[in-house]
Amino acid sequence: MQPDVSFIIAAYNAEGTIGRAIESALAQRGVSVDVIVANDRSTDRTASIAASYPESLVHVVTLAKNSGPGGARNAALGVAKGRWIAVLDADDEVLPDRMARMIARAEKAGAQAVVDNIEVIGEGQTRGEPMFPAGRLENIHEITLADFIASNLVFKSTFNFGYMKPIFERAFIEAHGLRYDEGLRIGEDYIFLASILAQGGKLVVEPAVGYSYHIRSGSISRVLELHHVISMLEADRKFVGTFELNDEAKAAQARRTRSLEEARSFISLVGHIKRRSLKDIVKVALSDPIALRHLSMPIAVRLKQLMPSTAAQRTGGIMK
């Protein structure tokens, strides 16, 4: 029988947390589930731990080579059978009533994707704080493509909808041939959900907390690097070239593109300063003077703010 939900877990060297993630998925109430763990060439016990669960409930897919988050999730999507797909990081867990609540919300609204609030839990703690404060999501019933793009800007202190972990209707992504961009190691979640919206998918919000995001010290991989920003700009160019955007989405995309261009210039400027390359410093300053204003904040702080998503800062679940 077709399960209501297939959880897809991209996993790389997550032996300490993969069991918790799987068990939280299997503990869902009111829905039938299966779990697909995409083992992204782990070198620890991740695969064997996942394989210790009944194969009827947990299916392990081992990639031929390390492919990053996009490749791992695509491998899991290739074998998923559920009506709904839920993305779960190997570091994290979901609350028992999450899927029943989100599916009910989606079906009532005729939506193809749903997001909810996230609990952020510090290392060694069992309880955390909501990522979005009380009242922030209650009045947001639907997130449009323009809303989603506009919230995903660098150097902006806005609530970023890109932090949220969606569930989406499998029939919809199959009908439109949607898959993760395997060339992106950062920002692949953003492009995937934006593509669902650009194809006419409806994204609604369940304001309750249903996803627990675990922070682990020592798991920060690195700050956003120049090649990441270049890849994100290229992915955005492909996105704009693939889909017809309305005026609001076009305006939001223009702001996002400009923010990424600022990030590219700023990171380049920092590199030139470290190398004491006066010629290159002047070149960047003349070509993009706005990049200079970001130097008013300590460089380390500004570089940290460049990260598009806290999920992109962790090594658990994917290899950066």
Residue 215 pLDDT more than 90?
A: no
Lowest pLDDT segment from 23-37, 67-81, 193-207, 298-312: 298-312
Are 13 and 44 contacting, i.e. CB atoms less than 8 angstroms apart? yes
What is the spatial distance between Cα 204 and Cα 116, in angstroms, rounded to a whole number? 9
The pLDDT assigned to 316 comes to 38
Between residues 278 and 57, the one the model is more confident about: 57
DSSP secondary structure string for all residues of 37-59: EEE-S-SSSHHHHHHTS-TTTEE
Residue 220 pLDDT more than 70?
A: no
What is the spatial distance between Cα 33 and Cα 117, in angstroms, rounded to a whole number? 21
Residue 225 pLDDT more than 80?
A: yes
Residue 70 pLDDT more than 70?
A: yes
Residue 308 pLDDT more than 50?
A: no
Burial 16-50 (b: 16+ CB within 10 A, else e): ebbbbbbebbeebeebebbbbbbbbbbeebbbebb
Pairing of strands 203-214, 113-121: parallel
What is the spatial distance between Cα 223 and Cα 218, in angstroms, rounded to a whole number? 13
Residue 319 pLDDT more than 50?
A: no
The pLDDT assigned to 310 comes to 40
CB atoms within 10 A of CB 137: 23
**Mean pLDDT comparison of 39-43, 274-278, 312-316, highest-scoring range:** 39-43
**Domains in the chain, ordered, with CATH?**
1-320 (3.90.550.10)
Mean pLDDT of the chain: 87
Residue 104 pLDDT more than 90?
A: yes
Q: Residue 219 — pLDDT band, cuts 50, 70, 90? A: very low
Q: Residue 222 — pLDDT band, cuts 50, 70, 90? A: very low
Lowest pLDDT segment from 9-18, 36-45, 184-193: 184-193
Per DSSP, 218 falls in state T
Q: Residue 264 — pLDDT band, cuts 50, 70, 90? A: confident
Residue 320 pLDDT more than 60?
A: no
What is the spatial distance between Cα 260 and Cα 130, in angstroms, rounded to a whole number? 28
The pLDDT assigned to 224 comes to 73
Q: What is the pLDDT of residues 106-146, one digit of tens each?
A: 999 999 999 999 999 988 887 899 998 888 899 899 999 99
Mean pLDDT of the region 294-314: 48
The pLDDT assigned to 60 comes to 98
Residue 188 pLDDT more than 60?
A: yes
The pLDDT assigned to 208 comes to 96
Residue 8 pLDDT more than 90?
A: yes
The pLDDT assigned to 249 comes to 98
Q: What is the pLDDT of residues 150-186, one digit of tens each?
A: 999 986 756 788 889 999 999 999 999 999 999 888 8
Local structure of 203: helix, strand or coil: strand
Are 102 and 216 contacting, i.e. CB atoms less than 8 angstroms apart? no
What is the spatial distance between Cα 7 and Cα 26, in angstroms, rounded to a whole number? 9
